[in-house]
Every structure is written in C-alpha cells, then in structure tokens.
Amino acid sequence: MAFFPAALDNLIDRFASLPGVGRKSAQRLAFYVLSMPDEEAIGFADTIRAAKKEVKRCRVCRNYTDHEICPICSSDRRDRSVICVVSDPKDVLSIERAREYNGLYHVLHGVISPMNHIGPDDIGVKELLVRAANEEVREVIMATNPDTEGEATAIYISRLLKPFGLKVTRLAYGIPVGSNLEFADDATLTRALEGRTEI
Amino acid sequence: MAFFPAALDNLIDRFASLPGVGRKSAQRLAFYVLSMPDEEAIGFADTIRAAKKEVKRCRVCRNYTDHEICPICSSDRRDRSVICVVSDPKDVLSIERAREYNGLYHVLHGVISPMNHIGPDDIGVKELLVRAANEEVREVIMATNPDTEGEATAIYISRLLKPFGLKVTRLAYGIPVGSNLEFADDATLTRALEGRTEI
C-alpha cells in the first residue's frame, strides 16, 4: 500500500537523485515544498526552467554565463596573458574571492576520468589549446583539484601545452593557512617541505 | 562584479532557502541541475508543479493524498475506533512501517508554538474534536514528538478531549530498542524507570 500520493513520491525521488541528498533528506525537502505557498513552489519550478534555459557556457572560457561571452572574458581590465585552468565553475568563484588573480580562466567542467569514460574531448582541452596558440598568452596555471584525477588531468594538459613554448604552472601545495601541523597529512607535509621557501 | 548569471544565482538562492541546505550545498545542487540533460531538469521543475497541484490534504485526517479522502481513511480494513494524532505526514509513514497499528490518523501539520505564532487553529485541532465527537471513536493516541512543543501540544489536546469521555493515551517513553544504556540521557532513563514493567 502506498501511503503517499504518486506526485509526492515522484518529488521525493527527484530530490533523492540530487548529489548528497539521502532518502530522508529528500522526504524532508519534498514535504517542505508542499508546505510552501503555491506561488513560491511554482517560482521554484520556474527558476529551474529559467536557469536551464538562460545559463550557457561562455564561448571562450566555458564558464557559466547568460551572455555569448562571459564578463571576465569580455572585461578590458583582465590580464589576457594568463589563463587559469579549473575543473568547475565554482572554482572560478573561489579564486576570484581571493582577489589575487587578475587573468582569464578556462573551465573544464570535469576532469579526465577513464573510469567514468571522461576523456580530453569531454572537458574542452581542444578549446584550451586553441586559446593557448594565441601569441598573447604567456602562462597557463593548472588549478585542478589536488586529487588523483585533478593531478593527472593537470599533467596531461601541461604536456600538450609544452610545444607552445609558454610557462605552465601549478598551484603551490602546502599547509593551509591557519591550520595546525598536527592535522596535516603526510603527503601535504612532504609537499610543504619540498616547497619550502627562505624567510 | 557578479560571477554567475542572474538565473544561476536565483537557482542557488532557491536551493539555499530549503531547510538544512547551506550556501555551499545550494551551489552544488544548482550546478548539478545545470549539468543535467535538458529534459531531466525540466522534468524536475514539472514534478514540483505537479506535486503542488495534485497533492491535497485528506478531508478527514489531513494527511497528504491525491484523493478527496486518503486510502487509510477510506479503507474498510482499518479500525475506526482509534485515532493516532501525529504532527507530520512522515510520522504516519514511520508508524505504518512498524506494522503494529491498524487505526486511523489525524495529521496536525505542526505543533502549537507561541514563539512561531502557531496556535490550535493552525494545526487542525477543531477538526480532530469534530472527529472525536463521533461515537465510533473510543481512543485517541497522542503521538507528537517527545520534545517540549510536541509534549505541550499533546497535553493541550488531551485536555480538550477529556469531556468526550474517551481514552486518551500517549506513546510510551523509554530506552530505544537496540540502543545502549550508556548513551541514554537522564530524562529518557527517568521515564524508562517510571514506566518499568514486570517480566
């Protein structure tokens, strides 16, 4: 016997299909949506449709935008000689927040992952090479995540970039600022020692 | 400078307004929706609309249903002499799962909470009294949550039910089955001792 109407079960299923949302949370979210005023719930539905319809990838850097070319790529205040390669649009946000970087970006939307059948063609590597061929570009910073796949992707791309004769760099590894040595893992400590600088 | 298009920001805001979803999770969910195939994202939007449109409250017990009267209230296999009062539709699911109870339900959709301006009229207490006046009913089980507001609501309602001359009961308190005495809090242990039974 079904205790919930089909339309409610469907909504629970949809929420449960989102990443990091378990069955119990999906139930809670679905009940919450039902308890919303009508116009709010419909507004939620419309926001999903609108985001899907209006948000595109920038033709240059592949970051999300509602223009043909995103505000960063079309800005005349950015340094066009550096491209920072990240795996996700949210990484652009993280780097912008640090207010240290003023170059351009290239968003891969993923990393190379043979296990998940994601190859270089799926993450816009070709588009990056086309951009790197532009003589204005002097440096490419690899800022994929410091995990196995991010690392492998960075190494793969940097090899392809070698023939272009430009500087290819990687974000520094080390102890996070404000953290505690006690909690740093061995791999991080090893990298921090290797990368030590004179004071 | 906004890094994300407005439509994406709106979607992040919507997700962040859901209970238990922080800013970071909202971002992750919004990005996930953008990465979905078009028909899947639109399906999600439509599911929200459909749930909101089709799911109503049962005219008798106020549980969610897509009929005028829910399957439990309209079933001829349920014991119509007992009404179990719960605060949320998901509590009906929990109790049904135990396969011990065969009576009817009354769903409050909340508890009395002066802090949040929720009074008896907001949680269908009047509707419960109308049902309790039916001579078929012999017992009302208060199954609101064992927290302060749930407790207060149970006591308030049980007082209103007194004049009807029917049995009003409360779920038993005690040590959860399979748990460990070591982790039981004082209040639970006190109730477990008070409610001890002969073996």
pLDDT in tens, A126-148: 999 999 998 899 999 999 988 88
Are residues A48 and B49, on separate chains, in Cβ contact within 8 Å?
no
All CATH 1.10.8.420 domain ranges of chain B, comma separated, are 6-54
Q: How confident is the model at residue B175 (pLDDT cuts 50, 70, 90)?
A: confident
pLDDT in tens, A173-189: 888 877 777 777 888 88
Do the Cβ atoms of A105 and A84 come closer than 8 Å? yes
Q: How far is B55 from chain A (nearest CA, A)?
A: 7
Return the residue of A nearest to B71 by Cα: A3
Are residues A54 and B92, on separate chains, in Cβ contact within 8 Å?
no
Rounded Cα distance, B107 and A31, in Å: 13
Helix spans in A36-99 (H): 38-54, 71-74, 89-97
pLDDT in tens, A96-119: 888 889 999 999 999 999 999 999
pLDDT in tens, A4-39: 889 999 999 999 999 999 999 999 999 999 989 999
Q: Which tokens belong to A41?
A: 């719930």
Kindly state the DSSP code that residue B118 receives in the 8-state scheme. B
Domain A78-198: CATH class, spelled out: alpha beta
pLDDT at B11 over 70: yes
Are residues B55 and A7, on separate chains, in Cβ contact within 8 Å?
yes
Domain at B6-54, CATH homologous superfamily: RecR Domain 1 (1.10.8.420)
Number of neighbouring beta carbons within 10 Å of residue A195: 10
User: By mean pLDDT, which of B69-73, B95-99, B108-112 is the weakest?
Assistant: B95-99
Quick one: pLDDT at residue A1? 46
Kindly state the DSSP code that residue A164 receives in the 8-state scheme. G
Of A31, A41, A109, the CB nearest to B89: A31
All CATH 3.40.1360.10 domain ranges of chain B, comma separated, are 78-198
Are residues B50 and A10, on separate chains, in Cβ contact within 8 Å?
yes
Are residues B49 and A42, on separate chains, in Cβ contact within 8 Å?
yes
The CA angle A130-B28-A123, to the nearest 5 degrees, is 20
Do the Cβ atoms of B74 and B107 come closer than 8 Å? no
Which residues of chain A neighbour B12 with C-beta distances below 8 Å?
Answer: none
Averaged pLDDT score across all residues of chain A: 90
Model pTM score: 0.77
Residues 6+ apart with CB under 8 A from B47: A7, A10, A11, A14
